[in-house]
Amino acid sequence: MDETVYDMSQQTNSNPSIFLKKDWISILDNQNGVYTGNQCVIDTSQLSNSNKWMNYSEGYLAVPLLLTLGATTQSVNFVPGTKETSADYALSLKNWYGSVIHSISVDLNGATVIQQTGFQSLWNTFKLMTTLSYNDLVTFGPTIGFYPDNSGSYEFYNADSDSGKGVCNNKNANIVPVVSGAFNALETFNRGFYERQKVWNFDPDGNVGKLGTDAFSSLVTQSNLQNIYKSHIFKKINGVASTTYGMFQCQIMATIFLRHLHSFFDKLPLCKGIFLKMTLMLNNTSFQFKNTVTSNAAVYSDLTVNNPIGGINPLMIASAASSQAMEKVTPNSSNITLIANLSVGMDCLDGTLRGNGATSGALARNITLNVPAYTFNPMFESAYVSNPVIPINYTDIYQFQVLNQSGNINALISNGIAGLKSVLVLPFFNSASNGGLSISPLQSPYCPDGGGTTSPMTFLNNFNVVISGQNAIYNSERYTYEHFINQLYGQNSVNGNQMDGINSGLVSQYDFENCYCYYYVNVERCLPIEKNVSKSVNIIATSISAKNIDLYVFCEYNCSINLNTLLGVRV
């Protein structure tokens, strides 16, 4: 403490002016607001011709999202416009807005620097879960739609229930946990589900305070909310028999930082004239289900999911159990089929909902790329460009799937990968093992899988990664505490979590032993001469899950390019 006081006393308050100006420049994508092809293309020609020093590591995408929940029939059984049957907390997004992006590829002046890899959001959410701190959840989480799901609030049903079927973790109302009169139920609601909802489900008709007080619309009108692009609920239509379809809609302005999409952007220095072409594949998704309510008991059934590119389903529906968000949305003694849709852009892309009265949002129509442009102090600029060629070392990933596994697992992942850095294995229940739901948990709207969580308790015993015939782990991991402490804890964290008090990362051993079964191994420790040698990768393990599982395997490898920062070209 005394040393800190002394050092602070010696500091001067003057700082050199390295930059004279910082301007944020925004450019639209090339889609003209049309995302029916589930694709977005952005080129940076406007930025490369600006003669400005661009900092892509600070850049972000502003992505307009439209959420729609509607009935398939004209019926009084879906009335979201009435406060007693409000649907304000009926829908949720899975963890992190980036889950809406299935994959990204980037070309630099016509040469590929980021390859298109499916299910990239699984890898990126893992990186966020092991990098961010709890302070980040408070200050930064609402900006990027990030709040981890509770790992102990999951349920599993082999038959249709009020929460769904298969893996379910969609209760967002805080109920006191069961501590007596029953065997241990761990947790009874998913706080992450609720925390993510409250960021964007602002309702202008909501009360400012207790019931009966003025509405938020008395403080700010909906048209002004649209002018400032604040996420909010903008349509609630009650169903009327034979005349009107019930409809609920919300518009969201989602922020996705480039550095969270790929490490290339994080490593990219200030540069001029660089021309990038980014291609994003989008998880536009609809799902349809039947909600039957009899004798104050609701049942979800007949689920079908439509995701044209086969990525994860970024959308969830809340439980209809007692005191949960969907309990009162459909009146008692009702039987109604609902469709939920998530669309990028201003327009609802589900044809049935659009024909039943779903309207366009009033926020942005296009995805926007926002990047800061710096103007150097000439003295510092001359020093910066004195050696303009800079090596950029980043990592990319390959994605593999090992499907329908049980018991002993011995899977060849790849015959050869050069520059191998790490291997991540994410286990999920096989679609045939997911409670008869017949779809993967990644597609399920009843659980947050795909947004950070894995299927619950999908433990791997005797786990090891074999690199070119050599075990990466000296003794195969047998126990949960072994893998968490020896392999997972501290990865991607500040100082590797070696100094108490300044650690980061959001996955505890409790989480690992429930719904965050991350099997991660650092395999880059080797002699420098071996780093660029192609090496085979095998996964060996014993699945002790009672259900068949699918393994999603990510192999991270090193990449390097030389970039002329003054001209924006590869050298």
Domain range list for the chain: 55-108+148-376, 392-570
Which are the contacts of 500, defined by CB distance < 8 A and separation ≥ 6?
Answer: none
C-alpha to C-alpha distances, 381 to 29, 85, 271, 376, 564, nearest whole angstrom: 31, 61, 11, 5, 14
What whole-number distance in Å separates Cα of residue 397 and Cα of residue 442? Answer: 20
C-alpha to C-alpha distances, 327 to 66, 190, 193, nearest whole angstrom: 23, 16, 16
What whole-number distance in Å separates Cα of residue 304 and Cα of residue 513? Answer: 30
**pLDDT band at residue 14, thresholds of 50, 70 and 90?**
low
Asked if 234 and 251 count as a contact pair (C-beta separation under 8 A), the reply is: yes
What whole-number distance in Å separates Cα of residue 47 and Cα of residue 373? Answer: 9
What whole-number distance in Å separates Cα of residue 281 and Cα of residue 207? Answer: 39
Q: At 20, is the secondary structure helix, strand, or coil?
A: strand
As a whole number, mean pLDDT of residues 280-287 equals: 97
Is 210 a residue whose pLDDT tops 90?
A: no
Residue identified by tokens 């990644």 is 442
User: For residue 391, which of 566, 559, 259 has the smallest C-alpha distance?
Assistant: 559
**pLDDT band at residue 433, thresholds of 50, 70 and 90?**
very high
pLDDT given at position 207: 83
Which one-letter amino acid corresponds to residue 309? I
As a whole number, mean pLDDT of residues 247-257 equals: 97
pLDDT given at position 164: 95
Which are the contacts of 205, defined by CB distance < 8 A and separation ≥ 6?
Answer: 83, 215, 216, 217, 236
Is 523 a residue whose pLDDT tops 90?
A: yes
pTM > 0.85: yes
Judged by average pLDDT, the poorest of 51-60, 76-85, 150-159, 423-432 is 76-85
Q: What is the pLDDT of residues 3-13, one digit of tens each?
A: 777 777 776 66
pLDDT given at position 114: 95
As a whole number, mean pLDDT of residues 550-562 equals: 96
User: For residue 167, which of 532, 499, 549 has the smallest C-alpha distance?
Assistant: 549
Is 333 a residue whose pLDDT tops 90?
A: no
pLDDT given at position 8: 73
Structure token digits, residue 542: 């014993």
Q: What is the pLDDT of residues 301-331, one digit of tens each?
A: 999 999 999 999 999 999 999 889 898 888 7
Cα angle 383-18-58, degrees, rounded to a multiple of 5: 100
C-alpha to C-alpha distances, 541 to 208, 407, 411, 416, 429, nearest whole angstrom: 55, 8, 9, 20, 16
As a whole number, mean pLDDT of residues 273-284 equals: 96
State the sign of the Cα–Cα–Cα–Cα dihedral 120, 121, 123, 127.
Answer: positive
Is 293 a residue whose pLDDT tops 90?
A: no
User: For residue 484, which of 151, 237, 143, 193 has the smallest C-alpha distance?
Assistant: 151
Judged by average pLDDT, the poorest of 19-33, 40-54, 291-305 is 291-305
Asked if 166 and 118 count as a contact pair (C-beta separation under 8 A), the reply is: no
As a whole number, mean pLDDT of residues 21-45 equals: 95
**pLDDT band at residue 230, thresholds of 50, 70 and 90?**
very high
Q: Which CATH number among 1.10.10, 2.20.25, 2.60.120, 2.30.29 corresponds to the domain 392-570?
A: 2.60.120
Is 202 a residue whose pLDDT tops 70?
A: yes
Q: Tally Cβ neighbours within 10 Å of residue 303.
A: 21
Asked if 451 and 283 count as a contact pair (C-beta separation under 8 A), the reply is: no
pLDDT given at position 181: 62
As a whole number, mean pLDDT of residues 332-343 equals: 89
Is 19 a residue whose pLDDT tops 80?
A: yes
